[in-house]
Structure 1
Amino acid sequence: MYLLEVFLCSKITQAIAGKVIATHHLAAHHLNSEHLTCHRLASKDQKAVDLDHLNHYQDVVTYLYFSYVLLDPKPMLRALDFKKLRRQVNISAKSWNIIKEKHPLKTLIGQDRALQAFEFGIGNKSRGFNIYVSGYPGSGKRAAINHFLEEKAKGEISPGDWCYVNNFKEAYYPKKLGLQKGGALVFKNEIAKLIEEAQIALLKAFDSKEYANKRQEIFDEFQQKEISLFQDIYQKASSNNFAISRTPIEIRVIPIDDAGNPISDKTFRKLSKKKQEKIIQTRDMLMMEFNALLRQNRELDKERKEAVIQLENDVALYAIESLLEELKGKYKKNHEVIEHLEDVKNDIIENLGEFLKVSNHKNRITSAPTHRFLEYEINIITDNSDTRGAPIVMELNPTYNNLFGKVEHESDMGTLLTNFTLIRGGALHRANGGYLIIPLRELLLNYFAWDGLKRALQNNEVVIEDASERFGFLSTKSLKPDPIPLNVKIILLGSPRLYYLLYNWDEDFKELFKVKAEFDVSMDYSVANAMDFASVIFKIQNENNLLPLDHKAISHLVEQSCRIAKDQNKISIRFGELSDILHEAHHYAQLESRNQITSDEIAKTIEAKYYRSNLIQEKIIDLIDRNTLMIELEGSKIGQINGISVLDLGDFMFGHPNKITVNVASGKDGLIDIERESKLGGRLHTKGVLILSGYLGEKYGQNKIISLFASLVFEQSYSEIEGDSASSAELYAILSSLSQLPIKQWIAVSGSVNQKGEIQPVGAINEKIEGFFEVCRHRGFNGKQGVMIPKGNMDHLMLKHEVVQAVEEGKFHVWAISTIDEGIELLTGIPAGKRLKNGSFSKNSVHYLVDKRIEALNKILSKSSNEKK
């Protein structure tokens, strides 16, 4: 009986296929597939004929007959028109000339949000409102900031100067001096002139006859006092037959005879003992009195020296007071300068000898750094004499020393020595009163720089000290200069990722950088924006002395900017990348001896960059051509589909097909992701696979338990797989395996799916389409090949011209779908089916066949469980 039914169904299939083949090749394909299956079963022993399969076959035959012959089904999903695969831009020659001649040149376009935030940050002088400029490389943020600051800083007041001077009381702590703009250099010259004039005046004063006479008067006066002091003791000694002898090393009281000659020891011994004792007693008395007089004489010497010093001080003060009074009058409002001038005056007076030793003062100033006159030097830290408006400083190498300055040392006989003239300022000193721009990544890479910057902003002062000393490491003895008050606006340049990392993990960051200016990488496509874009390109051309572009070249460049933005409705404003294209096109135009850049040079530039980077892609395509990587582009397969993976090499990203297979059997293990089990699946890929279980449960598990075993794998994939963009392809393979409906292998699939069966947009859609296109081109087009993408990705299509041309010629196709039902219909040629009121699905649809297969698997599992019991 079974054989007879198979035979009859086979004949019916042939009859239906004969009718349908003239109107619908796809229906005929499925009918013939079922006919071959039943014919194969009929050729075997009748016991091998499976009743479930026979019933399934009969249902398919009946459904196909009604669907394709009697009901005139809806047409298959149409591929996208080639015009939707790429935005076509056509700027006329006239419009291009108008842009070049009349359109206002803009430094930055498409960054209104960032510029508004930046303007607020610059205008807000409150504490903590420093600016973090967030953006990706090539967004033009650095050029925009420079231009904006230059305009803003012109209208601001220039800050004053800062310098360090010697601390005459404690040289270890140099003092700071704040002066008005340009005042540091003036003050340095004034002090140098003061020292020179002071020496001349002092030399003249101390060489004068008046000074010599007054000095001699002092010496004469004290000499007379000394004579008067010792006159009595000398007379008393003479009257007692003694003589007093004074030498630099000793004082002697010597007895003499009546002739005035000293008594020798021999004569002294011949005297009676009584006379000897009297002589000794008289000598001791005279010696005691003379010593007392010597003490008085020392007081006289001290008074004489003090009188001489006072005379010298009076002469010196008189000589330099007029010089100092002029400077004091000029700087009377600057108490620090007045105090320093007093210290200079006092030090000059205290060290007059240094000024009077050498007559050539110029030699002293230019002598070795260890010379004592160095103490009067002015060490300029910031000189804003040539600054117009507020200073703008960009520190591209923000090391600790480059930011905060340092104290240098010099080697002298193997010993490191330093002094206040070796203090060097940093970027914070130069930017004080203005703006300091720092790239954040470089700042974080330099030890101590980030912590030091935060401390400076928190304390509003710049401290120059050795980093090792700050953190308690051993270091050579150094100086401790006075901190300089800090008033600066810090502008950090960094990526969004670094911003969020610091915001979440550094509690000081959010308090110190309260303004975020985020630069975009694209802007909306509009006629006005396209004109602004073209004007910026014209500006880049002029600034870099490039050959002029014709209207077709600028049109091509606008199209390329849309491709860079990965969106038909966006224009990329990453002008760094676009500038590179212009420079390379300029090079090719020069090689061809052209006088302008045409669309051909732009196209050649893009292709050349692609060729320089796609070696790996060509290697993979070669492996596919040689069937080392087994990718099928012909025929239909059950439980097998071509997904598309993307390989990102940094400078180049490309797509290539991956064979995805599914096997289904009876069991309770559910959906097994071999990639996850082998630890080759990333978290996002695992999420995508788990969503498939949710879809299957919601679709087919409303009135029954789903008991099955399904293994899912990316064939010949030996590295980690990440992302969920292949989840729809995986679901199609599962549905194919369950329904036993073959999937067209000439269609590659990309798109993620949610639990409701909706197809979601994915990234790198252009690279994926072009990757499969390259494989098909190498294998040879058959007129049916193409890629199925999410409908949400249609605006992201900016495919290469060659792909668009192949679609226009019918060699290649792109389909856009929004649901799994649309996709499975395209892949199998069978309607997806609708859920009926009774919970089942429309007869012989994909969902109907899947549902029946799940029921069959459940029965097998139930039967197996009963047999075990």
Structure 2
Amino acid sequence: MTTDKFKVPVSMLSPLIDPSQFGFEDTGELEPLTEIIGQERAVEALDFGLHMKSPGFNLYVSGPAGTGKGTLVRQMVKRMAQGAPPPSDWCYVNNFQDPSRPACLSLPAGQGASFKREMAAFIEGLRRDIPQAFESKKYLDAKAKLHDEIETKKKALFRDLTEMSQKQGFGFEETPVGFGIVPLKAGHSMTDEEMEAMTEQEQQELTDRRKILEGEIREFHVRIHTLDKEAEDQQRHLDRQVVTKVLEGPYETMRRTYQDLAAVAAYLERVQQDIVHHYKDFLPHEGPHLPIPGLEPRRPDMTRYLVNLIVEHDPMGGAPVVDESHPTYTNLIGKIERRAHMGVMYTDFTEIRAGAVLLANGGYLIVNALDALRQPFSWDALKRVIKTGEVKIEDPGEFYGFSTAGLRPEPVPVNVKVIMVGPPMIYHLLQAYEEDFSKLFKVKADFDTEVARSERQDRQYARFIAKLCREEGLPHFGADAVAEVIRQGFRFADRHDRLSLRFSLVSDLIREAGYWARKEGHSFVTRADVDAAITHKRHRSNLAEHWIQDEIKEGTLMVALDGEVVGQVNGLSVHQLGDYAFGRPTRITARTYVGTKGVIDIQREAELAGNIHSKGVMTLAGYMAGKFAGLHPFAMSASLTFEQTYSEIEGDSAAVAELAAILSSLADLPIRQWLAVTGSVNQLGEVQPIGGVNEKIEGFFESCSRKGLTGKQGVIIPARNTKHLALRRDVVEAVESGHFTVYAVNTVEEAVELLTGIQAGERAIDGEYPLDTVFGRAAQRLADMAQAVAEWGEAEGRPDGHIITEP
């Protein structure tokens, strides 16, 4: 039997790239890449989502890590933001009606800082001018005049009261508790003896006059109190007139500056009213104690007149772009900070801080989906902002019923475009389990991981290398090095007709190649430097592979690489350890015997098989039943296992190998151990493609090369996997020199013929297979098994010798 027709040509084992086709000697001759390679679909979605102004058209940027989605999003968003008008500045100010509910003010971009500065200067000027006005001669004269007028009135009332008391025969005398009235006689106070010498009638008259006078004295006190209150009112009116006069100029200047901003003008009016009513706060503190030498007198607290500028924008800076790398609740929404004073925590409106949403108000907010979902309250807060169009800064403790802030800041209206970046799985989960998600994120931008190869894409790859070399100061790449990077781009994509778009991997390769070029003293990066980077990176990661290959070479892991054995085949598996994957051969054995249990998968029985692997075994059992259960019952028991495996096995890529082992055991035909096979199979016998084909081929090649290549060894792969081939250079060279072979098959029959060296066989018109074929020998063995089972059934007294199949 000839096997040449199944050999994969060397040209298909790895992409061939001619450096001379590029038209340049090194990347220093190229213009750096400015556009994105191969993401036209994502660019179109991003452009639509960023320009769409209707509510809910926020974006979810989906794609695997390393595809450049974050970089592209930032580039496009910043480009759009530069041409957009800058949004308003926002600040919090005191609410004079209810200080626990600070008010927010909006000002044109750039005016927030000037308003804050002018308000501070306005208040500071009043703190200087108001005390000076109260110390002026004009004010002191008016105050003295007012005082004199009141004192004159008080003296007149006292004079009138004195005259009245004298007419009533009484005078005033000073007592320890104030002034008292005493009866007079001949202009002098009466003695006790004179009081006792009075007749009863005279005493009664004296008492009546005393009562009349006491009533007048009470009236006198009322009038004095009235005069004091009048003096206080006049003094307050005078003081307010003085303060109003001082305020007139500065306030009018402020009012005219912000007269076009209704909310700011209304706030300034409230400030003016508060200053007039609380002007004493601007006066020096009057205390009972003398000032301490060396210490300045305490100044009244003017915090309520401050402006807390929470969002400030450059009037020439365009719309804001905020990339929140740590989207906690407070980082997104904002927070109310606290200060400590003498062991007591307190806060006010000046401690309110803006979060990323407010900083991005009027622009764009970029958030990583996984980061936002990991943080408590963040996702709910972000949804609430998008749905309500406002930011309400609250203390997270209030979500648990603890009122700790004492402030309820006025919500700030927002209009922000949210761009959430994350993996596809998170998008699908949110679509399925978050009812608001589809309403809030209506645009999905999907990033691809590969692009069809063309001359244009090769050129863009080269320009990408040129860009990275210029940006990071790396040595430029020669044409042969560019060709090798492009070849690795095929490898990253697992295709020889497509280039990988996972530029994080490509960038790392470029950086590492630049390192090795400098270490070797090369002025330009060569192909050897790129090969060195690939080799060294593999060496840093392949310790586990090295151990396994050593154990195969030593015989600890029993894998036969030569000879022929019945019921034994070399399967291929892939191990994924983080970012490194490698293949290895695994011995698969099968034993067949008389019975009715069908194919027994030992891995599944031991609960060491995944669902996909179990499905593959059931599928091959279906194929065998359809192939051989024709003229007689399908009476067979077969045990199937992966030898020396002690962890779960997943995947159906060993189905062809398992089927070959069973057929070998049935037909009693040996399998060539110098061949390894991989591939999935369907019930029609077609070999289906599998993943990790490059790693599997290289893993078997590594085992063979360590024990010594014989020229017969090779790997059988599905023909549909040939487009995925991008093998290492040493494997390609071994195939080219005839020391190793890669075969490609489309059907189980072709794989069996390669493994046994005997024709698989085709069913004749009478439904039988030729006896000198694999299927013929297997069918004959199955017929013998069926006869043995039937005879056993008759011997046991089963009716008609029917076979009873166990469930």
TM interval, shorter chain, is over 0.9
* Residues 674-685 of structure 1 aligned to structure 2 (within 5 Å): 674-685=602-613
| 2:388 counterpart residue number | 459
Q: Distance in 2 between matches of 1:245 and 1:437?
A: 87
Conserved 8 A contact 2:689-2:719: yes
- Distance in 2 (alpha carbons) for counterparts of 1:533 and 1:801: 21
Indicate if the aligned counterparts of 1:107 and 1:144 stay in contact, CA closer than 8 A: no
Of residues 239, 242, 247 in structure 2, which corresponds to 1:315?
242
Aligned Cα RMSD in Å?
Answer: 2.2
Deviation at 1:251, TM superposition (A): 5.2
- Given candidates 351, 366, 388, the residue that maps to 1:422 is 351
1:593-608 paired onto structure 2 within 5 Å? 593-608=521-536
Question: Is the deviation greater in 318-327 or in 436-445?
Answer: 318-327
CA contact (8 A) 2:30 2:463 kept: no
- 1:161 partnered with 2:89: yes
CA distance in 1, matches of 2:565, 2:297: 91
Residue 278 of structure 1 deviates from its aligned partner by 4.0
The CA distance in 2 between the partners of 1:473 and 1:486, in whole Å, is 27
SS in structure 2 at match of 1:95: coil
Other-structure match for 1:41: none
The 3-state SS of whatever aligns with 2:476 is coil
| Number of the residue aligned with 2:683 | 755
1:781-836 per-residue CA deviation (whole Å, 9 max, x = no partner) reads: 11111110011110110110000011111111110111101111111111111222
- 2:326 counterpart residue number: 397
Residue 431 (structure 1) aligned with residue 375 (structure 2): no
Aligned counterparts, 1:124-273, within 5 A:
124-244=52-172, 250=178, 252-261=180-189, 263=190, 268=195, 271-272=198-199
CA gap 1:335/1:368 in 2 versus in 1, 3 angstroms: farther
Contact 1:106 1:532 in 2 (8 A): no
Match of 2:251 in 1: 324
- Among 285, 310, 316, the alignment partner of 1:381 is 310
What secondary structure is seen at the aligned counterpart in 2 of 1:301?
Answer: helix
Q: CA deviation at 1:412?
A: 0.9
What is the aligned counterpart of 1:564 among 478, 492, 499?
Answer: 492
Q: 1:102 offset after TM fit, Å?
A: 5.5
- Structure 1 pair 239/569, CA: closer, same or farther in 2 (3 Å)? same
Q: Distance in 2 between the 1:266 and 1:181 partners?
A: 92
In structure 2, the partner of 1:782 is: 710
1:113-128 equivalence runs, <5 A: 113-128=41-56
2:508 maps to 1:580: yes
Any idea what SS the aligned residue of 2:525 has? coil
Q: How many residues align?
A: 788
Contact 2:31 2:466 in 1 (8 A): no
Q: How many Å separate the matches in 2 of 1:577 and 1:145?
A: 19
Uncovered stretches (5+) of structure 2, i.e. residues with no partner: 287-295, 798-807
| Match in the other structure for 1:6 | none
SS at match of 2:188: coil
Shift of 1:447: 1.2
Deviation at 1:577, TM superposition (A): 1.5
- Partners of 1:704 and 1:251 in 2: how far apart? 138
Cα distance, 1:265 vs structure 2: 5.5
**Contact persistence 1:155–1:389 (CA under 8 A):** yes
Q: Name the residue aligned to 2:457.
A: 529
Contact 1:416 1:476 survives alignment (8 Å): no
Cα separation, 2, equivalents of 1:422 and 1:245: 62
1:91 aligns with 2:19: yes
Q: Secondary structure at the match of 2:561?
A: coil
CA offset at residue 472 of structure 1?
2.4
Deviation for aligned residue 1:723? 0.7
Q: Distance in 1 between matches of 2:173 and 2:441?
A: 85
Instruction: Find the partner of 1:299 among 226, 237, 241.
Output: 226
SS in 1 for 2:583: strand
> Which letter maps to 1:414?
G
Shift of 1:370: 9.6
CA distance in 2, matches of 1:410, 1:369: 20
Query: Which is further off, 713-722 or 343-352?
Result: 343-352
The 1-side partners of 2:378 and 2:711 are apart by 62
**TM-score (normalised: structure 1):** 0.87
The alpha carbon displacement at 1:97 in A equals 4.7
Whether 2:272 is the aligned partner of 1:345: answer: yes
- 1:645 and 1:549 map into 2 onto residues whose CA distance is 36
Distance 1:385 1:109 in 2: 33
Q: Deviations over 1:659-707 (max 9, x none)?
A: 1111111111111111011000001111111111211122122443212
CA deviation vs aligned residue, 1:90-129 (integer Å, no higher than 9, x gap): 2228613597546562242111100100000000011111
* 2:365 maps to 1:468: no
- For residues 262 and 196 of structure 2, the distance between their equivalents in structure 1, rounded to whole angstroms, comes to 78
1:843 Cα deviation from its structure 2 partner: 4.3
1:222 Cα deviation (Å)? Answer: 3.0
1:283 to 188, 210, 229: 210
Alignment correspondent of 2:554: 626
Determine if contact 1:407/1:423 at 8 Å carries over to the other structure: yes
The separation in 2 between residues aligned to 1:675 and 1:514, in whole angstroms, is 46
1:722 to 650, 675, 690: 650
Distance verdict in 2 for CA 1:368–1:98, change over 3 Å? farther
* Cα distance in 2 for residues equivalent to 1:580 and 1:265: 117
Paired residues of 2:171 and 2:183 also in contact (CA < 8 A): yes
Q: What letter corresponds to residue 555 of structure 2 in structure 1?
A: N
Q: Does the CA-based 8 Å contact 2:321-2:364 persist in structure 1?
A: yes
Alignment TM-score, normalising by the size of structure 2: 0.94
Contact 2:462 2:482 in 1 (8 A): yes
Asked if structure 2 preserves the Cα contact closer than 8 Å seen for 1:791 and 1:817, the reply is: yes
- Please state how far the C-alpha of 1:231 moved relative to its aligned partner: 3.8
Checking the alignment, whether the CA contact within 8 Å between 2:677 and 2:715 is kept in structure 1 is yes
How big is the shift at 1:598? 1.0
Distance 1:369 1:697, change over 3 A: farther
Q: Residue 768 of structure 1: SS of its match in structure 2?
A: helix
